[in-house]
Amino acid sequence: MAQQVDLRSPDEFISVEGEIVGFNGVMLRVQTSVGAISVPASEVICYGAGCIEVLASNDFGLTAGAMIDVVVDGSAPASSGDQTLSVGFESATAGGLYRTVAGAFAVASDTSATVVVSADGAAVLSNDEASLKLNIVDDGGDADIVVETVSLNGTAAQQYSGPGDWITTTQPGDQLLGLNAFSVIVAPNAGISEISLNDLARVFAGEVTNWSQIGGADVSVLPLQLPTNSDLWAQMNKLVMEPAGKTVAGNVLTMSDQAGISASILQFPGSISIIDFAVANADQTIAVAGACGIAVMPNAFNIISGDYPLARPIMASYNTAPTAPFAAELFDFASTDVAQGLLDREGFLNHSAQQQDPVLKNERLGGLLNASLDDAQRAAAAEMFQVLFDANRLSTTMTGGAASGPEGAWNRAMMIDLAGLVSGPEYQGREIVFAGFGASTSGSDAAISASLGAAQSMQAAFEQFAGAALASNEVTVSPYGFGNVFPATCVDGQVAGSGYTRVEVWVR
């Protein structure tokens, strides 16, 4: 018990002194004078010099972000219901997104708080018990809350063990505000119609110099990029290069704007670039594949479902956790139809649920009839065909199992939107199907079992979260697991070593 810490919740309801001896991604195990006990990491502040020592030397994956805060002076300050936090932005676009959401929340949201938002976005949220003041600062990186583009690729620390954690917490580490995407455009003579995320990073890192190296024509590669001081370049670097552990080569040709890049793609043999989905020419655009090789074209449905791997989610990322739930309410509001309708008019993709084109749905199900499958997959394919034949897929899609902060934020936004959807009159008496997909190194039976378990966990969380809406509208929820039978995409999970599943939402 050499590294003593004091763990306390802001309301003083939790107060534990002892030595941190374990962390499973959700609960801290603490050895105290009366034995070992467990407390939720996301509900406590760690006081004492031992906190830093534990974070520096532990081998069980604990990070400062798993707790509300880390204070090294060893003394817990008196609890207060009032708090002031700073809000910063990675770009002017992120700032405009935040101000739209905050302004609409003040006018349209049903909340117990009094909300006052100034012209620059500074906000005061308060009720009889507490208040939260959000001040706008210029240096976004040092702010308590940063509104920024976040990658869903690569590896990130586990923050949530399952759906029950990210949907019920009042102190999420990240929350989804808006959504955009990148498109990959390529010269016609490159001889490719798709590219993997890893190969895309290799191209811009200078490791692929001829298209024949990745199955294309015998033509030299000419990557084009926006200026390195532009917001879009920074976002491209975060979504493509950093998850692959690579940096952009120094000889990549820089052009001043996206219009110039689009024109040059037609003129320069072997050229390739990454630009905003909203301005990309569909005739120049190619599909992008994740690790398992399923190539997905960028369109509205594929992007807001998360099937397309170059989505650009913009999130509020917390460096300091609010002690009052007002901030969570504010940023949850961004996923409502009211907020998404406003953001759609400002150039963001409306990530409210939409139905997939029935033709594309039928193509996917029709592919089951001619697929090469093992015995377990054939049984799952037969059930999949029967269950989904008269159903329509919604864009709402979530990550099953253990999740990082950004993955939890994506899931939370999708479930908030789905809860609003099922309360509408058009869903009276309908059935929501949670369809789990995933692979396993232990074979198809294990994959089917894991995907069913993920769908069942999602069902339980959704019924807890939206129980009133489901009951009043007589909506039922059914879980199914189809394992590795015809997944729509293969975007990898961020939590290293965990089984990865996706849960699609269908309605019938």
Residues 134 and 87: beta-carbon distance below 8 Å: yes
| pLDDT beyond 60 at 2 | no
3-state SS assignment for residue 380: helix
Q: pLDDT tier at 16 (50, 70, 90 boundaries)? A: confident
Distance separating alpha carbons of residues 175 and 331, to the nearest angstrom:
6
Report the b/e string of 322-341 with b at 16+ CB within 10 A: bbbbbbbbbbbbbbbebbbe
* Of the candidate ranges 14-23, 286-295, 310-319, the one whose mean pLDDT is the lowest: 14-23
> Percent of the chain having pLDDT more than 70?
97
Q: Is-contact 334 412, C-beta < 8 A?
A: no
Q: Per mean pLDDT, which range of 183-197, 328-342, 428-442, 485-499 is the poorest?
A: 485-499
E strands in 298-374:
311-318
Query: For position 11, what pLDDT does the model report?
Result: 65
Average pLDDT over residues 316-336: 91
pLDDT in tens, 218-248: 999 999 999 999 999 999 999 999 999 999 9
| Number of neighbouring beta carbons within 10 Å of residue 116 | 12
Residue 79's pLDDT band, with cuts at 50, 70 and 90, is very low
Of 59-63, 161-165, 429-433, which range is least confident? 59-63
> What's the start-to-end Cα distance of the chain, in Å?
57
Whether pLDDT at 33 is above 60:
yes
Q: State which H helix or E strand residue 160 sits in.
A: strand 158-160
pLDDT interval class at 256 (50, 70, 90): very high
Average pLDDT over residues 371-392: 95
Q: In angstroms, rounded to a whole number, what is the distance separating the alpha carbons of residues 140 and 95? A: 10
Instruction: Burial-class residue 319 by CB neighbours within 10 Å (0-12, 13-18, 19+).
Output: middle
Q: What is the mean predicted confidence (pLDDT) over 324-344?
A: 92
For 298-315, how does the pLDDT look when each residue is reduced to its tens digit (9 = 90+)?
Answer: 999 999 999 999 999 999
d(CA 242, CA 122): 32
Q: Which two tokens stand for residue 259?
A: 């219009």
Average pLDDT (79-100) is 88
Query: Is the pTM of the predicted complex or chain greater than 0.85?
Result: no
Mean pLDDT estimate for the chain? 91
Mean pLDDT of 485-506: 88
Q: Is the pLDDT assigned to residue 58 strictly greater than 80?
A: no
**What's the CA dihedral at 26, 31, 35, 40 to 10 degrees?**
-20
Residue 78 has pLDDT above 50, yes or no: no
| Residue entry with tokens 């926006």 | 226
Confidence grade of residue 482 (pLDDT, cut at 50, 70, 90): very high
| Residue-level pLDDT at 112 | 78
Counting residues of the chain whose pLDDT is more than 90, the rounded percentage is 72
Of 443, 433, 444, the closest CA to residue 378 belongs to 444
Which residue is it, tokens 């110039």?
Answer: 260
| Average pLDDT rounded to a whole number, residues 155-180 | 92
* Average pLDDT of the residues in 248-266: 95
